Amino acid sequence: ARETYSAARPNSAAIHAKARAVMPGGNTRTVLFYTPFPTAMTRGEGARLWDADGREYLDLCGEYTAGLFGHSETRILDAVKAAMDRGINLAAVGENEGRLAALICGRFPSVDQVRFTNSGTEANIMALAGARGFTGRTEVLAFRGGYHGGVFTFPVGTPVSPVNLPIPMRFADFNDPDGAARTIREAGEALAAVIVEPMQGSSGCIPATREFLQALREATRETGALLIFDEVMTSRHGFGGLQQRLGITPDMTTFGKYMAGGMSFGAFGGRAEVMAVFDGHRAGAMPHAGTFNNNVLSMAAGCVALGEIFDETAAEALYARGERLRDALNAACARHGVAMHFTGVGSMMTPHFRPGPVTAPYKASIEEEQMRELFFFDMLAAGMYLARRGMVALMLPVTDADCERFFAAVEEFCAARKPVLA
Ligand code: PMP
């Protein structure tokens, strides 16, 4: 499969070879790196991509959820062009940031006030800083398998390197309510915050159970630690995010990805009382700076993305399309009798090469990794661009016909590769 892959992509190979001389690995996003070399894309339109060798793909990666609106949503392009016409970044506050903040505060139950960053990673860094400032405590609890940005990457079965860790952290198992509650109570007044993805994204689209999140909610309320939902990926799962769908309200929430229509973006928000630590009107306010925090392109695109396009109807339709696709895929896997199962919520899903249900993150076996690699390269050959780990994040321009094409490609994969019990 790899030989065919390489032979079909001489231009991608050349781009990689040149970049390697000046960038370690020829790359600047770990998630886009794979051997022998990643496919380079040169153009996108709607839910379609074209690579450097002229091959066309259906984009099911959806820029790791940031590409919700596709590559050429006119309303977003118009907003960005109009913002550019008024001048690039004016080193001043503008009207759009207040508009975008109001749109966010109006939809997420936990968010009275919000501030912007350049990325989800930064949003998490600032939320944790805010929680530490508010509580006057230092430690943070995160979960094995969690991903909150490059400096907060906690794969199962891999020791966390202190070199990589900017904050003193404790760890507990995802979806283990008793264990997590125990850890929170043991940490007591040392613990400033608990940070959790209501569906772990990077570790394989593994939804948190309501019982687990409820246990975190109760234990943090008891000890005074702040509960932070990292909804960088999951906020798309409903008008008010996954928190609203689950009916559990954290103290703080972090955002990123699609919310600025595909422009760079991050945000963190929460209860007014907590966010007040950043209020410049108050003596001793915590600093939160960042040259591009209110960059005019992200602010303008975000107002249109949330205010005009991704409304309640669009969010529910996308969620339902994803649920239908995942159900159909799992029914097909069962029919083929293969060790393959898709987990996820709404429009996001990841295949696991083991039978379902999969309720906790795990370290994949070599056989599972090989199957995952085969799946990725087989899908590429079939004209489907997925995340290297197999994750699918549907974009709004993906149609039912597109989903059917993907479904057919997965059925073909099941029949041809017959993934068996690892
Ligand atoms: N949190 C989660 C849950 C994420 O999935 C990601 C990105 N994949 C981040 C944080 C970091 O966001 P960014 O890449 O914008 O820094």
User: To which H or E segment does residue 217 belong?
Assistant: helix 210-223
Which pair of tokens denotes residue 80? Answer: 């960005």
Report residue 2 as tokens.
Answer: 């790899």
Cα pseudo-dihedral 145, 149, 151, 156, rounded to 10: 10
**pLDDT value, residue 164:** 67
Q: Which domains does the chain have, with CATH numbers?
A: 2-68+313-417 (3.90.1150.10), 74-309 (3.40.640.10)
Please, is 305 exposed, middle or buried when counting C-beta atoms within 10 Å of its C-beta (0-12, 13-18, 19+)? buried
| 256 Cα to the center of ligand 1, angstroms | 7
Q: In whole angstroms, how far apart are CA 137 and each of 25, 75, 128, 140, 280? A: 39, 44, 11, 9, 22
In this structure, which amino acid lies at residue 302? G
From the CB of residue 95, how many other CB atoms can be counted at a distance below 10 Å? 10
Nearest CA to ligand 1 atom 2: 148
Ligand 1 cavity residues, CB under 6 Å: 64, 119-121, 124, 147-149, 197, 201-202, 230, 232-233, 256, 266
User: In angstroms, what is the span from residue 157 Cα to ligand 1's centroid?
Assistant: 21
Q: Which two tokens stand for residue 33?
A: 């790196």
Joined tokens for residue 140: 């943070």
Q: What is the pLDDT of residues 87-113, one digit of tens each?
A: 999 999 999 999 999 999 999 999 999
Q: Which value, in Å, is the radius of gyration of the alpha carbons in the chain?
A: 21
Mutation test of ligand 1: which of 29, 68, 233 has the most ligand atoms closer than 8 Å to its C-beta? 233
Q: Report the SS3 class of residue 220.
A: helix
Residue 64 Cα to ligand 1 middle (Å): 9
Torsion angles phi and psi, residue 123, rounded to 5:
-60, -45
Residues annotated catalytic, as ranges: 147, 230, 257
DSSP sequence for 344-407: EETTEEEEESS-S---S--PPPHHHHHHHHHHHHHHHHTTEE--TT--EE--TT--HHHHHHHH
The best mutation among 118, 124, 125, 147 to test binding of ligand 1, ranked by most ligand atoms within 8 Å of the C-beta, falls on 147
For the chain, the maximum distance between any two Cα atoms, rounded to a whole number of angstroms, is: 66
ipTM for the predicted complex: 0.99
Say if CB 150 and CB 176 are below 8 A apart: no
The number of beta carbons lying within 10 Å of the beta carbon of residue 23 is 11
DSSP letter at 417 equals H
DSSP, res 339: S
User: What is the distance of C-alpha 239 from the center of its chain?
Assistant: 16
Give 153's DSSP letter. Answer: B
Q: What is the predicted pLDDT for the residue at 167?
A: 86
Q: Which strands make up the sheet holding 191-196, listed edge to edge? A: 113-117, 266-270, 252-256, 226-230, 191-196, 139-143, 169-172
Nearest atom within ligand 1 for CA of residue 119: 15
Question: E strand or H helix at 196, and its extent?
Answer: strand 191-196
pLDDT at 269: 98
pLDDT of 392 reads 98
Task: Please state the atom number of ligand 1 nearest to the C-alpha of residue 231.
Answer: 3
- Residue-wise pLDDT for 41-91, tens only, equals 999 999 999 999 999 999 999 999 999 999 999 999 999 999 999 999 999
If you measure from the C-alpha of residue 150 to the centroid of ligand 1, how many angstroms do you get, rounded to a whole number? 8
- Angle of helix 95-107 relative to helix 296-304, nearest 10 degrees? 40
Regions of the chain where pLDDT drops below 70: 1, 162-164, 421-422
